[in-house]
Chains A and B, each alone.
Chain A
Amino acid sequence: METMMALQWVLDGTLVLALLWLAWRALSSPDLFTAIILFIAFGLMMALAWVRLQAPDIALAEAAIGAGLTGALLLAALARSNDLADRINDDQTTGTGKK
């Protein structure tokens, strides 16, 4: 029983540290693509945290919506933003100035 408690503490401690590290790296990463990928990983680890907190419904919702859908939305927005930036750069360099 003691080893069970110790193992649970190790599991919880590792999960908390991993979540902290992922959040820190995601928020301070210089590259946006890396930041979004780390945020998706953060969402998946949050699903594990929800299971540890005896909330399986939230774990399902977080994995699907929080990690999956938010990650897809963020990546699509990043891709469209980069496309827009490229197009604006092209307009400026060719001098058409079409806004």
Chain B
Amino acid sequence: MNSILLYALLGVVLFTLGLHALIVHAHLLRKILAINVMGSGVFLVLVALGVRAPGAPPDPVPHAMVITGIVVAVSATALALALLLRMQAKTGRTRLPVERLE
């Protein structure tokens, strides 16, 4: 049972890693990568909390939610990438403008 908690904690750490990369990086493609990693972390927590006793089958409702989530994530990623390319065509830049934060 504890190995399932290991995956849930991995999900939490992946979410935090992705959030850090989302905040720190200026390049938009890296932000999209970071959001995908955050999504994977959330899915891990959802499914890990749905595993029950070793003999019983797992709870299928989180499985369905995560499959829906994966498809929604890929369509959002596709739209975000199209927006990135459009912004680069318009402004010539793929990074957010750099502000000196003191």
Chain A–chain B contact at Cβ < 8 A: yes
Spell out A's residues near B (CB within 8 Å).
8-9, 12-13, 16, 19-20, 23-24, 26-28, 32, 35-36, 39, 42-43, 46, 49-50, 52-55, 57-58, 61-62, 65-66, 69-70, 73-74, 76-78, 80-81, 84-85, 88, 99
Residues of B near A28 (CB, < 8 A) are 21
Say whether B26 faces chain A, with CB atoms less than 8 Å apart: no
Residues of B near A42 (CB, < 8 A) are 37, 40
Closest residue on chain A to residue B88 by CB atoms = A84
Q: Are A81 and B51 in touch, CB under 8 angstroms?
A: no
If over half of B's interface residues share one DSSP class (helix, strand or loop), that class is named, otherwise mixed; here it is helix
Q: Are B36 and A39 in touch, CB under 8 angstroms?
A: yes
The contact of A20 among B10, B29, B57, by CB within 8 Å, is B10
Spell out B's residues near A (CB within 8 Å).
3-4, 6-7, 10, 13-14, 17-18, 20-21, 25, 27, 29-30, 32-34, 36-37, 40, 43-44, 47-48, 51, 57-58, 63, 66-67, 70-71, 73-74, 77-78, 81, 84-85, 88-89, 92, 94
